[in-house]
Chain A
Amino acid sequence: MDNFYIEATATSPEIDFRFDQNLLSMKGESYPENAAAFYAPIVQQLRTYLASKEGAAITANIALAYFNSSSTKMLFSIFDALDQAAEGGNGIEVNWYYDEEDETIFEFGEELKADFTSIVFNDRPITT
């Protein structure tokens, strides 16, 4: 399956899914006009890719400096897809990057960790 790339805008993150390397990256800020519409094709591509994998070692690097409330919900769907793939026998490792001062993103990471226990979740605070 082809790699999937969406360029960043001021209000939406860069999506760089290198399926051929089992490397998934999301980077930037997320407050698109319609988060459900923005994330729907991303979640769909991700699910199709994950469904084709068995026993793979997959890494996701997530570095979102800000996300609005409706993006939060969509991130939950992305983690849900990753967690299911991990339960299905793939090794999923997530690197969760955030500014060390940013309590909100750190706490959201804690929520993800609590809910999606099959994912290896690495906190990656960044010192600014």
Chain B
Amino acid sequence: MFNTATARQDCTFFDLAQQRNVIFYHMGYFSHHIISAMAEVVKLQLEISGVSGPTRRKLFSSFVELSQNIIHYSSDALNTSVSEASGLRQGAVCISTDGERHLMLCANPIATADIDRLREKLEPLRNMSLDEIKQAYKVTLRSETPEDSKGAGLGFLTMARDASAPLEFDFHPRADDPDTTLFCLKATI
């Protein structure tokens, strides 16, 4: 039988999301089609909510880079038997507002062995000025694509360039699976 009390309790996530000014949240498996559909909604929502053109573009750009990162790098793939290109991978993306600022959060599982590699890429960006980030972007644009990259090796630099504060990141080890760690990245725009 339908349990009203449980349903009411289950609905509190909606209120919570509203209290925290969530514009968009998706958690689950990501595919290119899902990203494309989400992009359409995010773009429209930002337009309607009156966010200025330049901020909108930065948010949209960060959204695409973050979501494509999940497809490319999340260690949790739904169908490992088929080719990597069509794999669905697990992660979460959240866009919310905090006063004048927008927060863009993403989380996805990675192999614990990859922590150091990611930290080495992200840590230096935190101490760079916008000019230095732009300079590093220009250098990377003209250099060979790194072997471990599935894009252009420009994703984090693009996010750092669009953000108005240093990128924040964290690694949460999974108690039930020591080989897997949850990677969280936060961009303020």
Contacts and interface: CB of A to CB of B under 8 A. Distances in A.
Contacts, number: 69
B154 interface: yes
Q: Is the interface of B mostly helix, strand, loop or mixed?
A: helix
A69 B64 CA distance: 9
Given A68-B68, A69-B65, A69-B152, A11 B32 contact: yes
A87 interface: no
Given A11-B36, A104-B57, A69 B71 contact: no
Interface in B134-175: 134, 138, 141-142, 145, 150-152, 154-155, 157-158, 161-162
Nearest to A114: B138
Given A11-B32, A33-B71, A99-B53, A72 B141 contact: yes
B65 A68 contact: yes
A10 interface: yes
B99 to A, nearest CB: 23
A35 B151 contact: yes
B178 interface: no
A111 B141 contact: yes
A6 to B, nearest CB: 17
B124 interface: no
Interface residues of B, number: 30
B57 to A, nearest CB: 6
B170 to A, nearest CB: 22
Contacts of A73: 141, 145, 151-152, 154
Interface residues of A, number: 24
Contacts of A68: 61, 64-65, 68, 151, 158
B152 A70 contact: yes
A69 B154 contact: yes
A32 to B, nearest CB: 8
A44 to B, nearest CB: 18
Nearest to B157: A69
B154 A70 contact: yes
Given A34-B85, A104-B61, A115-B142, A69 B155 contact: yes
